Structure 1
Amino acid sequence: MHRTADRAMKRRFDQTAILAWVERHRRKLTVAAILLIAALGFAALHNVLAEVHLKQVRGALHEIPVSRMVLALGLTAVSYFALTFYDLFALRAIGSPIRWRTAALASFTSYTISHNLGLSLLTGGSARYRVYAAAGLDLGEVAQVSLIASATFWGGIFVVAALALLLDAAPIPLGPVTLSPLIQHLAGGLVIALLLTVFAMRMRGVSRIGWGRFSLPIPRPALMSAQIGIASIDLLAASAALFVLVPGATPQTFGAFFLAYALALLAALITHVPGGIGIFETVILATVPQGRSEVFAALLLYRIIYYLLPLLIAAVIVAVGEARRLRRHIVRGVSVADKVGQALAPSLLALLVFGGGLVLLVSGALPAVHSRLSMLRHILPLPFIDGSHFLASLVGTALLLVAPAINARIRNGFYVARLLLIGGMVFSLLKGVDYEEAIVLGIIAALLQYCRPAFYRRAGVLDAPLLRAWLLAAGLAVVLSIWSGMFAYKHVAYSDDLWWAFAWKGNAPRFLRASLGATVLLVGVAWWRLIWAPVRPIGATELPGDVAEAAFAAADRTDAALAYTGDKQFLISASGDAFLMYQLRGRTWVVMGDPVGPMAAWPELVWRIRGDCDRAHGRLCFYQASEDLLPLLIEIGLQIMKYGEEAHVDLASFSLQGPAAKQFRAALRRGESLGIEFSVIPAADLPAIGPELQAVSDAWLQSKAGAEKHFSIGHFSPEYLAHFDMAVLRMNGRIIAFANLWATANRSELSVDLMRHFPDTPNGTMDLLFVKLIQWGIEQGYQRFNLGMAPLSGLTGRKLAPLWSRIGHAIYGHAEALYGFSGLRHYKEKFRPNWVPRYIATPPGLGSPRALVDLMALIGD
């Protein structure tokens, strides 16, 4: 029985350990899963196209009439025009009066990005947020718009699919599955019934739907009908743009084709593979009955018309607008369009640079046009051709890796990308007179050059944050190029000799060498970036003594003493009489408190760290800022959140008389009866009592959960404590409690940092220590005693309060067991303090949650 119990406990332990490991590596596992799904998708696509050859696909492409291509372009325009009303109707659903022009800009840019990258709520949602934030919406409203627009899309898919199922009287083949008319009608009827149920709910007065505190408005029936109608137009036009490119397609087969199209969209969205590349094509090829070479040719052309061309148009529009804005020195960034261009231009240009790299990689994997290669045969030697082919693939891979630097507005990234694009143009011509891709690269380079003023950050190319999403996309780009080569050369039997074969018709060996070079470069850079992150520019790690002396002389807050903890960096004013202390956590630059020194020096320091952080592509966060600093924080564009309140005891009015001080008088009497003595030890005499203090600190830490904290409080170390006088309580000659004193030079404030005692000290010992310190402070002429923070105290939970305030209010009221928020305030309330608010300032929008996560991790260490 005991063995059974032991085995059960071991299994539970193993399961817990596995779950913890999965949670710890969740992001890496997600990336690996997406890469695995993409690889399986390409493998399935390879199997589906087993009998199809590149020559057949090229022939099928040439057979598509120009009139069909023009019709596909027109249907694509209709689809993207309809997409703009997704956002407009969503804005009306939440009661926003934003005009169609702004909604169209948000919709077009967000959908062109999400269509090509996938993860629509993240990639497209980010672009949508930047547009609407410039128009005055907050994060919650933008999230509602994104979700309602997404619901509109899915509603359109289900309605059109339901109608197709209801109206089709013949069996519909979907690959290996055939839907009978009865199943079609039942499925279509169920979808229509669900939609009518939503209409009925709205008619009965149900205006919102959701869970807990989160809810979405249900649009009015008229608006809901408009949403379904516009979504149907969009989806019919988008699917028809592919349908007209498929040879042999007839109007009678459009219903079955649309179901296959919807299924392919669903598979692409569920797998989260960027752009659904490989997944979308596999499903279409497996479910559409026409010849696979013709369908695959149509899919390739559809990728260009519906995905890449709108992305290029969006990038041109935004980039040209951004470049014009940067050249207007008087009126800058006034309109919504200006703000949108400023926010989205780097992202779209980065996508174009990435696309240029993908073009070079895929081109390098495919055989050169024989007639063009013959032209070069009489001009250049073979090694030159092979070398250009290999270098073109390396340049393509390098463009994939330099794209994040473009997104981060890094000037060196601009120079490198421009050089690579020009090099790619040259190598494209030298490896096979591929003037088409040279023209594409030239357009991207011209756009990049036109937007040159947008790249102002001074940092290294590899200092840009290479997010896992970029690495994932780059990996898929290389996989796509390798798959393209394997498809093109499936008729070539592999042998080790191919690696060393050099011939004018040796396209397969060139592909193998280029793919190996691209893979090695990508894996090498990714490994280096993931294992050895680049060192970013940092401030001074030591605070000069003369600067500290001058700054502390003008300081009114005792937390300036945190400069001595040894875990901060410093920005020093030009006059040398003020400084600002901060630390980096991830990409977040966390500033501790207000600048220290004369207030006249504060603007210089705040604006300098704002600029340094921006140039390093970081997120700026101020922690425990005072009301005096708020105007500057608002001026530099940060959003302000109340963090809690600090307890200040006015020493001029503090008294031990009256009923309110009864507990303090009792603590004094108890201390006298136990023989507890209070004294303040000068900093110079601390070495003599160091071992006793260490014993108290060790016992106190052992009785508490966790280890020493840093950054926002001090820690026990001789180097740190040597800067401060020490208040101690002795009992029978033995130190039982201590607290190091923080004090301003102008005697405006007195406080304590470390407060530690033996676990077995008598009850009320810390009350006694505080009362003795306050009395000592009064004798020394200090104006106030700072009891420290009460986190989340004073936040309101009102319905119209900001989201952060409501969350903090809920935590303050319901998480007492985790921290003791209200208990801490209640304890300090005994001293009848004045409560002074303290604030956190973060970047607005999507950067705020990440900055808060980094802040909590930093102060929790």
Structure 2
Amino acid sequence: MDKPHPTSETTGAAASVLALLDRSRHVLVAVFALLVSALLLHTLRGLLAELRLADVVAAVRATPPDALGWAVLATALSFAALSGYDHSALRYAGARVAYRIVAPTSFIAYALGNAIGVGVLTGGAVRMRLYAAAGVEAGLIARAIAFNAVAFGLGIAAVGAVALLWGADAVAPVLHVPALLLRLLAAAVLATVAGLLWLCARSGEYRLFGRVRITLPGFGLAAQQLLFSALDIVGAALVLWVLLPPGAVAFSVFLGFFSIAVLLGVISHVPGGMGVFEAVMLIALSGHVPAEQLAAALVLYRLIYFALPLLLALALLVGFELRQGTGAPVVRAAASLAPLGLAAFTLVVGVMLLLSGATPATDSATAWLAQYVPLSLVEASHFLGSIAGVLLLFVARGMLQRLDAAWWAGLLLALFALVLAIPKGIALSEAVMLTLLAAALALSRRQFTRKASLFAQPFSPGWLLAIAAILAASTALLFFAYRDVEYTHQLWWQFEFDGHAPRSLRAQVAVALVALLLATWRLFRPHAAAPPLPDAAALARAEAIVRQQPSAEAGLALVGDKALLFSKSQRAFVMFGRRARSWIALFDPVGPPEEWSELIWSFLEQARAAGCRAAFYQVRPQHLSLYLDAGLQLYKLGEYAYVPLPDFSLQGKSRAKLRHALSRAEREGLSCEIIPPGAAAAVLPALRAVSDAWLAEQQTAEKGFSLGSFDPAYLRRVPLALVRQHGEIIAFASLLTTKIGLEASVDLMRHRPGVPPGTMDFLFISLIRHFQAQGVQRFGLGMAPLAGMAEHPLASHWHRLGRLLYTRGERFYNFRGLRAFKEKFDPQWEPRYLAAPGGLTPLFVLADVAALIGGGLRGVIAK
């Protein structure tokens, strides 16, 4: 009897639509962002025609110091409210975390998420890492994140509605909507929020559409979260409002426009809402504030509310890195996030160098350079500084992957650009930022341990899109800054101290050429060939590794139906199956844990280089942070049952059924024999007869991937358990063990039709007793698919779907019966996860897993 596994069937038009969405989601997001940007730019054309870069710079310098101070205080208010978000969200999810952990975690998460907002550079990975280190289960963290998302939506809707209700007369002309309609809409939103609060005050459980159950938080917690949300949005709005000329626009009117701009920035999927937010505010406030003063305020807003917290977050991460020797789990987890923060900061510094290269130096700096610095050095510094900027954009990706080469490249480029900052144009602010980057990199050296090629790493579509957007923005800034300069061919060959436009043109062309060369080289670089199935030598090497590590399940590598990817030291490996565009690793890597991180990254990179998606199936909870670091998301698959052997006994009322099964088996003349590896040759014909009879009775074919098949070569490599009745073999099982003796497990199980009832119970009892006598600590009973899925009202769609299948899917698979069978042995349950990219990818991965197990889609559908 094989260990059963759930199957997934994805066919017909629905599968085609899902596949199309999966392939084109990046394109759809990009198209939407471009459409929004194009519409806003079309509306902005007239306004931008009146704007001059020199006027904006002058307005920035003219901003009063007290306005800057108030903006910093408002930023502190907003981020303090954000920490309250996390604290109350964790309480709702059922997790208790000290505020001394919540405060830095939320600050780092929001600083990175606000400033960057792309892919893995978001707050979700930070929360997962730090709250998990504080002992919070991954499902609870996911619920807290979901609760925060809902609270943010309600909060910005409520604050925006109040502002519209108050300032509808001023907002209506800009939106070309009657003020009465805006007030009615605002009143409807506020009534909805009030209705939700009333329901929270009544508490209890509610059903939506007759099926979905939702347990609302209590009134106090709901009101608290709404208050934090309002404080966050008001604080963020105050940052920009205090930077505007005093009395230019009433705060109620401003708050309405601000809320709309934030929402459009979120919907656009542009990182940090960059460009979209500014465009909306410029359009909305053009009749209230002079364009150059509004543009200056927007620049300072980005620096104070986005860049300053990012710097402080990086300082916190570096501080945690320096304190890593304290041994505290949260400190170690925070220190391991330093590459994420450094990647974000490197990206910001690269953008800064590109924008600096597209704009002219000040008149005073130009005069000083003309007096003391050779022209050739000024030209070379400007040219090379821009190239360093575009290279940093690519290096930042390598930092995310903790590459040793990325660390060296980032440090050398930062120092190189630092040397160029003064002759480039006395760029003191650049010098400060580059110094901070170099110092942070120097202090975080031990986090970059992966020895791999920097530019051999694949770049995701999202990252390439972000780089393209940055280059487009720097080019647009170049033309905006020098639109008063008449273009002639002679501009390219003008080398003068005040020849800013020619200098920037040459630098921008160099940037475009470098980016094009890197992208072209990466495009035409040959794909890595997929590893073949292992030969005898590879299987022997894998067997040696399996025997010297604790996981019994790793013995499935010896079946030979999965490819093996070995580490550089040959001390560890990943076993994986390939199906369609999926590379699916089975379990965690096998071998010393210190080699796992590099193996995980290598596996992901090779799969992406081959144009495939990569995932890890049935990973254990002890090392989930490694998959989060690699940018994967976690999806619970079910729970695995382990019987603790030292204390196992058949005594007691709860074990009465097991004692009865054992007694009946003995009366039926059953006996159990364990034969060691290599001793199967004599009994293989009898085992073949049992296996063929079982397959015929079940009307199924051999399975694979996550369980063994009847392969004589495999059965010779592992121990076997034989159940005899009066000397005749009627059932057998292959066993998975290691030399360490920490755990043992059962794999392939087959029996003849018509065996005595309780035969398999007898087999399990015999195996448990055998391994208990050998001093093994635990015995694996296998997975209970979809067991233990969260029932919380804020559980993810994944958990809700799992619960629905578990409770209503008995006609397709015996979910509850399988768990009930394992419960007879009073096991300990350990969650198992799928680590995979987000979006629709997990659905395709599970469909491919089912096909791998069933030997193809026909095996999935047939049985």
TM > 0.5 between the two?
Answer: yes
1:245 Cα offset (Å):
2.0
Does residue 542 of the first structure (1) align with residue 537 of the second (2)?
A: yes
* Residue in 1 that maps onto 2:564: 569
1:525 Cα offset (Å):
6.2
AA partner of residue 68 (structure 1): A
Instruction: Report the more deviating stretch, 395-404 or 564-573.
Output: 564-573
The answer to whether the 8 Å contact 1:709/1:860 transfers is: no
The answer to whether the 8 Å contact 1:411/1:456 transfers is: yes
* Residue in 1 that maps onto 2:855: none
1:276 Cα offset (Å):
0.5
* Residue in 1 that maps onto 2:253: 256
- Distance in 1 (CA, whole Å) between partners of 2:239 and 2:624 is 48
* Residue in 1 that maps onto 2:184: 186
Q: Kindly tell me: are residues 186 and 588 of structure 1, through their superposed partners in 2, closer, same or farther at Cα, counting changes over 3 Å?
A: same
1:274 Cα offset (Å):
0.3
The answer to whether the 8 Å contact 1:590/1:855 transfers is: no
* Residue in 1 that maps onto 2:58: 59
Once the two structures are superposed, the pairs formed by residues 728-767 of structure 1 within 5 Å of their partners are none
The answer to whether the 8 Å contact 2:155/2:230 transfers is: yes
- Distance in 2 (CA, whole Å) between partners of 1:91 and 1:283 is 34
1:423 to 412, 416, 419: 416
1:753 Cα offset (Å):
6.2
Which is greater in Rg? 1
* Residue in 2 that maps onto 1:117: 116
Does residue 475 of the first structure (1) align with residue 461 of the second (2)?
A: no
- Distance in 1 (CA, whole Å) between partners of 2:90 and 2:826 is 41
Q: Kindly tell me: are residues 657 and 106 of structure 1, through their superposed partners in 2, closer, same or farther at Cα, counting changes over 3 Å?
A: closer
1:796 Cα offset (Å):
6.2
Per the alignment, in what secondary structure is the counterpart of residue 49 of structure 2?
coil
- Distance in 2 (CA, whole Å) between partners of 1:401 and 1:268 is 25
* Residue in 2 that maps onto 1:241: 239
Per the alignment, in what secondary structure is the counterpart of residue 542 of structure 1?
helix
* Residue in 1 that maps onto 2:49: 50
Per the alignment, in what secondary structure is the counterpart of residue 250 of structure 2?
helix
* Residue in 2 that maps onto 1:323: 321
Per the alignment, in what secondary structure is the counterpart of residue 285 of structure 1?
helix
Does residue 503 of the first structure (1) align with residue 495 of the second (2)?
A: yes
* Residue in 1 that maps onto 2:103: 104
1:363 Cα offset (Å):
0.9
Q: Kindly tell me: are residues 860 and 186 of structure 1, through their superposed partners in 2, closer, same or farther at Cα, counting changes over 3 Å?
A: same
Does residue 309 of the first structure (1) align with residue 305 of the second (2)?
A: no
- Distance in 2 (CA, whole Å) between partners of 1:555 and 1:200 is 54
Q: Kindly tell me: are residues 470 and 838 of structure 1, through their superposed partners in 2, closer, same or farther at Cα, counting changes over 3 Å?
A: same
* Residue in 2 that maps onto 1:265: 262
- Distance in 2 (CA, whole Å) between partners of 1:159 and 1:855 is 40
1:36 Cα offset (Å):
2.6
1:264 Cα offset (Å):
0.5
Once the two structures are superposed, the pairs formed by residues 676-687 of structure 1 within 5 Å of their partners are none
Does residue 582 of the first structure (1) align with residue 582 of the second (2)?
A: no
* Residue in 2 that maps onto 1:642: 639
The answer to whether the 8 Å contact 2:421/2:427 transfers is: yes
- Distance in 2 (CA, whole Å) between partners of 1:620 and 1:441 is 37
Q: Kindly tell me: are residues 387 and 120 of structure 1, through their superposed partners in 2, closer, same or farther at Cα, counting changes over 3 Å?
A: closer
The answer to whether the 8 Å contact 1:621/1:840 transfers is: no
Per the alignment, in what secondary structure is the counterpart of residue 478 of structure 1?
helix
The answer to whether the 8 Å contact 2:558/2:717 transfers is: no
Identical aligned residues as a percent: 24
Once the two structures are superposed, the pairs formed by residues 812-851 of structure 1 within 5 Å of their partners are 814-816=808-810, 818=812
- Distance in 1 (CA, whole Å) between partners of 2:546 and 2:155 is 64
AA partner of residue 510 (structure 2): A
1:404 Cα offset (Å):
2.8
* Residue in 1 that maps onto 2:158: 159
* Residue in 2 that maps onto 1:195: 193
Deviations 1:713-764 (A, max 9, x none): 4598x998998999xxxxxxxxxxx999999999x99999699xxxxxxxx9
Q: Kindly tell me: are residues 852 and 581 of structure 1, through their superposed partners in 2, closer, same or farther at Cα, counting changes over 3 Å?
A: farther
* Residue in 1 that maps onto 2:784: 792
Does residue 514 of the first structure (1) align with residue 513 of the second (2)?
A: no
AA partner of residue 413 (structure 1): A
* Residue in 1 that maps onto 2:593: 607
Does residue 141 of the first structure (1) align with residue 136 of the second (2)?
A: no
Unmatched tracts of structure 1, length 5 or more: 1-12, 596-604, 665-680, 727-737, 756-763, 775-781
The answer to whether the 8 Å contact 1:246/1:298 transfers is: yes
Does residue 282 of the first structure (1) align with residue 268 of the second (2)?
A: no
* Residue in 1 that maps onto 2:388: 395
Using the size of structure 1 for normalisation, the TM-score is 0.71
Q: Kindly tell me: are residues 683 and 206 of structure 1, through their superposed partners in 2, closer, same or farther at Cα, counting changes over 3 Å?
A: closer
Once the two structures are superposed, the pairs formed by residues 647-686 of structure 1 within 5 Å of their partners are none
Q: Kindly tell me: are residues 823 and 139 of structure 1, through their superposed partners in 2, closer, same or farther at Cα, counting changes over 3 Å?
A: closer
Q: Kindly tell me: are residues 821 and 483 of structure 1, through their superposed partners in 2, closer, same or farther at Cα, counting changes over 3 Å?
A: same
Deviations 1:212-255 (A, max 9, x none): 5664532324x4444444433332332222122223x5176322
- Distance in 1 (CA, whole Å) between partners of 2:550 and 2:172 is 79
1:67 Cα offset (Å):
2.8
Deviations 1:659-684 (A, max 9, x none): xx89x9xxxxxxxxxxxxxxxx9979
- Distance in 2 (CA, whole Å) between partners of 1:151 and 1:772 is 52
The answer to whether the 8 Å contact 1:94/1:217 transfers is: no
The answer to whether the 8 Å contact 1:457/1:614 transfers is: no
AA partner of residue 474 (structure 1): I
AA partner of residue 366 (structure 1): T
- Distance in 1 (CA, whole Å) between partners of 2:705 and 2:186 is 61
1:138 Cα offset (Å):
2.2
1:418 Cα offset (Å):
0.4
* Residue in 1 that maps onto 2:676: none
The answer to whether the 8 Å contact 1:621/1:841 transfers is: no
Per the alignment, in what secondary structure is the counterpart of residue 416 of structure 1?
helix
Unmatched tracts of structure 2, length 5 or more: 1-10, 605-613, 629-633, 644-657, 671-678, 721-730, 762-768, 772-779, 853-863
AA partner of residue 523 (structure 2): W
Q: Kindly tell me: are residues 743 and 199 of structure 1, through their superposed partners in 2, closer, same or farther at Cα, counting changes over 3 Å?
A: closer
1:257 Cα offset (Å):
1.6
Q: Kindly tell me: are residues 798 and 410 of structure 1, through their superposed partners in 2, closer, same or farther at Cα, counting changes over 3 Å?
A: closer
AA partner of residue 419 (structure 1): L
1:498 Cα offset (Å):
6.5
1:342 Cα offset (Å):
2.1
Taking CA–CA contacts closer than 8 Å with sequence separation of 6 or more, which of the two structures ends up with the larger relative contact order?
2
- Distance in 1 (CA, whole Å) between partners of 2:340 and 2:568 is 35
- Distance in 1 (CA, whole Å) between partners of 2:109 and 2:472 is 26
* Residue in 2 that maps onto 1:777: none
Q: Kindly tell me: are residues 541 and 611 of structure 1, through their superposed partners in 2, closer, same or farther at Cα, counting changes over 3 Å?
A: farther
1:516 Cα offset (Å):
1.8
Per the alignment, in what secondary structure is the counterpart of residue 423 of structure 1?
helix
Deviations 1:352-402 (A, max 9, x none): 111111111111121233443454446666555444333222221221112
- Distance in 2 (CA, whole Å) between partners of 1:45 and 1:253 is 24
The answer to whether the 8 Å contact 2:68/2:243 transfers is: yes
1:19 to 7, 17, 20: 17
Once the two structures are superposed, the pairs formed by residues 122-133 of structure 1 within 5 Å of their partners are 123-133=122-132
Per the alignment, in what secondary structure is the counterpart of residue 586 of structure 2?
strand
1:487 Cα offset (Å):
1.7
* Residue in 2 that maps onto 1:358: 351
- Distance in 1 (CA, whole Å) between partners of 2:40 and 2:374 is 36
Q: Kindly tell me: are residues 183 and 53 of structure 1, through their superposed partners in 2, closer, same or farther at Cα, counting changes over 3 Å?
A: same
Q: Kindly tell me: are residues 547 and 401 of structure 1, through their superposed partners in 2, closer, same or farther at Cα, counting changes over 3 Å?
A: closer
The answer to whether the 8 Å contact 2:336/2:447 transfers is: no
The answer to whether the 8 Å contact 1:158/1:191 transfers is: yes
Q: Kindly tell me: are residues 129 and 507 of structure 1, through their superposed partners in 2, closer, same or farther at Cα, counting changes over 3 Å?
A: same
- Distance in 1 (CA, whole Å) between partners of 2:328 and 2:563 is 35
The answer to whether the 8 Å contact 2:87/2:102 transfers is: yes
The answer to whether the 8 Å contact 2:398/2:457 transfers is: yes
* Residue in 2 that maps onto 1:442: 435
Does residue 68 of the first structure (1) align with residue 84 of the second (2)?
A: no
AA partner of residue 328 (structure 2): G
Q: Kindly tell me: are residues 17 and 162 of structure 1, through their superposed partners in 2, closer, same or farther at Cα, counting changes over 3 Å?
A: closer
- Distance in 1 (CA, whole Å) between partners of 2:61 and 2:308 is 19
Instruction: Report the more deviating stretch, 198-207 or 355-364.
Output: 198-207
The answer to whether the 8 Å contact 2:115/2:307 transfers is: yes
Does residue 342 of the first structure (1) align with residue 335 of the second (2)?
A: yes
The answer to whether the 8 Å contact 2:357/2:504 transfers is: no
The answer to whether the 8 Å contact 2:619/2:835 transfers is: no
Q: How many residues align?
A: 770
